[in-house]
C-alpha cells in the first residue's frame, strides 16, 4: 500500500478556505469521507485526497509524494485566512472486510471498503487494491493521475470527487466547460490485455499513437485512450489490447 500522509487543518476559516479551492463540496463532510482534488487554474490535476471531519478540524489524507507540494500550494492560497496546516502522527488503515470502529466507507466505490485513521501502524487487510481499481477504472495518485490529467477524463464524476453545484474553485471554469460544452475525446478506460507491458507504455492503433497503458491485473488494464483512435485491436509493447465488448 503506497504511503499516505495525514495532515490536519484547523482554524475558523478552514471550511470556507477549502470550499473555494477543491473540486468537491465541503458540506459533504457531515456525511463521512469526501474525495476531492486540487487543480491548477488551467484545470489540470495537482493532487487528490480524502477529507474527514475531526472535531473542530479537518484531516487531509494524501499520497506522501504529493504532500509537500500540496502544503506549499495550500499555504500560497491561504493569505490571511485563519487556517493552520500541520502534520499529524496519524496513519491510514484500510480494508475491504468488516470495518472497525471509527472507520468510514471509501467514497469512490463500495468495493474499495473502508479507511480509518489512528496512531496504529499504517496497513491494510491484504486486499488486492489494484485488482479492484482495474475492475472499476479507478485511478491512483502518481500512476494514472499525473500533472497532465484532467479530472473529468480521469472519471472523477463517477468517483464522487466532483460537485458541479457548488460554488467556484480553482480550475472550475475549465472543468465546467469540458462537462457542458464538449464531448470528451480522451479518457481512462478498462481494456482487456493479452501479455503485459510496463506502466507508461505507449498504446498504438493502426500505427498511430492511441494512448498510454497503466495498471494491469487479471487480464485487464487501465488505459488512457484517444477515443477516436481506440480500435478493435491495439498494441502496447508486446501486449495486445481490446476494448471490452
Q: Give the chain's mean pLDDT.
A: 95
CB of 45 closer than 8 Å to CB of 150: yes
**pTM value surpassing 0.75:** yes
List pLDDT tens digits, range 141-182.
999 999 999 999 999 999 999 999 998 999 999 999 998 877
- Kindly list the domain boundaries of the chain, sorted by start residue: 4-180, 186-242
Cell numbers 459533504 label which residue? 28
Mean local confidence (pLDDT), 8-25:
97
pLDDT at 46: 98
Within a 13 Å sphere around the CA of 224, how many CA atoms are in the beta-carbon half?
21
Tens digits of per-residue pLDDT, 53-74?
A: 999 999 999 999 999 999 999 9
Specify the pLDDT at position 1: 65
Superfamily grouping for domain 4-180: Probable tRNA modification gtpase trme; domain 1 (3.30.1360.120)
The helix (run of H) or strand (run of E) holding residue 132 is: helix 129-136
Amino acid at each position: 500500500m503506497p504511503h499516505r500522509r495525514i495532515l490536519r487543518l484547523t482554524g475558523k476559516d478552514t471550511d470556507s478556505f477549502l470550499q473555494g479551492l477543491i473540486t468537491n463540496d465541503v458540506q459533504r463532510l457531515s456525511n463521512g469521507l469526501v474525495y476531492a482534488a486540487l487543480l491548477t487554474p488551467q484545470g489540470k490535476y495537482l493532487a487528490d485526497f480524502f477529507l474527514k471531519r475531526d472535531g473542530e478540524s479537518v484531516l487531509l489524507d494524501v499520497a506522501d509524494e504529493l504532500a509537500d507540494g500540496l502544503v506549499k500550494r495550500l499555504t500560497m492560497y491561504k493569505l490571511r485566512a485563519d487556517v493552520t496546516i500541520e502534520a499529524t502522527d496519524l496513519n491510514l488503515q484500510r480494508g475491504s472486510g468488516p470495518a472497525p470502529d471509527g472507520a468510514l466507507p471509501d467514497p469512490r466505490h463500495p468495493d474499495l471498503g473502508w479507511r480509518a485513521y489512528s496512531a496504529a501502524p499504517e496497513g491494510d487487510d491484504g486486499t488486492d487494491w489494484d485488482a479492484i481499481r482495474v475492475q472499476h477504472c479507478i485511478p491512483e495518485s502518481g500512476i494514472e493521475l499525473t500533472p497532465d490529467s484532467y479530472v473529468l477524463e480521469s472519471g472523477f464524476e463517477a468517483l464522487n470527487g466532483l460537485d458541479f453545484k457548488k460554488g467556484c474553485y480553482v480550475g472550475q471554469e475549465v472543468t465546467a466547460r469540458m462537462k457542458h460544452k464538449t464531448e470528451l475525446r480522451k479518457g481512462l478506460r478498462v481494456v482487456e490485455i493479452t501479455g503485459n507491458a510496463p506502466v507508461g507504455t505507449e498504446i498504438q492503433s493502426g500505427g498511430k499513437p492511441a494512448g498510454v497503458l497503466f495498471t494491469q491485473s487479471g487480464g485487464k488494464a487501465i488505459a488512457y485512450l484517444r477515443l477516436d483512435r481506440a480500435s478493435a485491436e491495439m498494441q502496447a509493447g508486446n501486449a495486445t489490447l481490446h476494448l471490452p465488448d
